Structure 1
């Protein structure tokens, strides 16, 4: 599809601001991540999901990260449960409330954390919740791809260049990425964003907008944005004219919607801040970029 067609399909899935919905319908998003060393990443992912249009965001992090993340914004609901003795049992009941989940921002690579997250992914799978996996979440699943096998709900992997190379090495070549599963897509981030999946119809490339500035946090903004769009797309799949064989369309369109939005935010922020631009500067432009692309 051309850009105009893709934008129109995205717009058809965005919930209208007509006063007829209640709190939560536009998206309850979960972020699993946040550790002693990394507190900014889950904040960027969570606040971006809200700024794009989700109603509520829950962050499940370690106890050492919780107070810091809370201090960044009162908008985020923060649960310091990830390193508790009964973490899986404590977090699992919350999952039923969520429309989409992002795993990875600021997660860290502690073995105990990975054990908890691996069990949570099994629970997410059983509940058929759409899933976005980024950052250290990708490091975890690249070690054991069986964790994401046979998902009935969408799974979006969002590797950067290095993470993509690791993933390709694991599966013995990028051509094998299409065989990860019919509900799994790989969204490769870079100078050109690109989709790899089993469906030819769902594949696209995008190098529009953006800038040469590569400050940390942009991938977190992207993953949070994808999660909100993913809820909207999967809620209104009938608007996408999907055939039963194209199960990746909703995921692919979510990635496209977020990709072009974040690239426009980057471009706008760079015009003002240039080399001094940081990820927080991009968040200021989410509303403006959203309006230009999709209207209210």
Structure 2
């Protein structure tokens, strides 16, 4: 199945032709970062850009110098300093985006949560695709946060083990399930109205409640932080490409696909991360860090998605 799913995704990748203008290969944003965590939003945004997205924004708080620190990391990224977690500094930008990643390094303060909540509501109101990762998944599990995404088919959740457990417990509390067992990804997706879940683990399980695919591509045993942020950025880039493909090819419909775009994009991103991680580990072994994984993007992208037109 793995090669088949990758083959189904390949047509979505924008061709590198001189007639393209800036933005046609994706305008991505990341809402995240806090005084404790600046690396997470950087890794998500730079992954999307290194994969070939044209424009990548980061919306980050000014608290603790977070936005200033992010501005020094890479001039290719557009960093917006957000004063006092004010969502009105972010919402006007949403109309210019193709996808927004919310959560990497966001922190768990009331201000960060309230800001993210208003941005999620605004994004849903304009049908903007979202990838939710990291701290936002924990915050969704309190104060009826799950209501914000209930039934929204353009949202992809990428929980790690801890975040997945919290999602399961939150939904069991809502449904009155007192059992000790974890809900399956399919059960969580169904209860949330068929949103897409990427349950990260030794094997990644991806489901919209109706269909499920699994990625067991070899990754690496080194569990350095930042791999989840890489994945969130990769999912955003690939999901954007899938949506743009049908925007520019009006004679085709995503309904013709055997799998939803969310599943295909997430599967391709999971496979790509694992390929990059494996290649980085083969070179750096125990000392592998996320910056090493980022360096593998060019070669591994060409290996996984060879440009047949240039051969």
1:5 corresponds in structure 2 to 4
Q: Which residue of 2 aligns with 1:49?
A: 48
The question of whether the paired residues in 2 share the 8 Å contact of 1:155 and 1:183 is answered with: no
CA separation in 2, counterparts of 1:82 and 1:195?
36
Look up the match of 1:274: 285
CA–CA distance in 1 between the matches of 2:261 and 2:280?
29
**Distance in 2 of aligned mates of 1:124 and 1:206:** 29
**2:203–2:214 Cα contact (<8 Å) kept:** yes
TM-score by length of 1: 0.92
Residue 212 (str. 1) matches residue 213 (str. 2): no
1:198 pairs with 2:209: yes
| Superposition RMSD in Å | 1.9
2:224 equivalent to 1:225? no
Aligned to 1:264: 275
Q: 2:102 and 2:283 mapped to 1: Cα distance? A: 32
**CA distance in structure 2 between the aligned counterparts of 1:101 and 1:250, rounded to whole angstroms:** 16
Q: How far apart are the structure 2 equivalents of 1:290 and 1:179?
A: 33
Gaps of 5+ in 2: 173-182
**Alignment deviations for residues 125-182 of structure 1 (CA, whole Å, 9 cap, x no partner):** 001100000000111112221011232x510000011111111111222253132445
The answer as to 2:244 corresponding to 1:235 is yes
- Cα pair distance change 1:241/1:293, threshold 3 Å: farther
Q: Is residue 78 of structure 1 aligned with residue 79 of structure 2?
A: yes
> Structure 1: which 5+ residue stretches go unaligned?
none
Deviation of the 1:10 alpha carbon: 1.2
Q: Quick one: distance in 2 between partners of 1:178 and 1:36?
A: 32
Counterpart position of 2:178: none
> Is the 2:197–2:206 Cα contact (8 Å) retained in structure 1?
yes
TM-score (norm 2): 0.88
1:174-198 deviation digits (Å, cap 9, x = unpaired): 2531324455111011110111322
Number of the residue aligned with 2:187:
176
How many residues are treated as equivalent by the alignment?
289
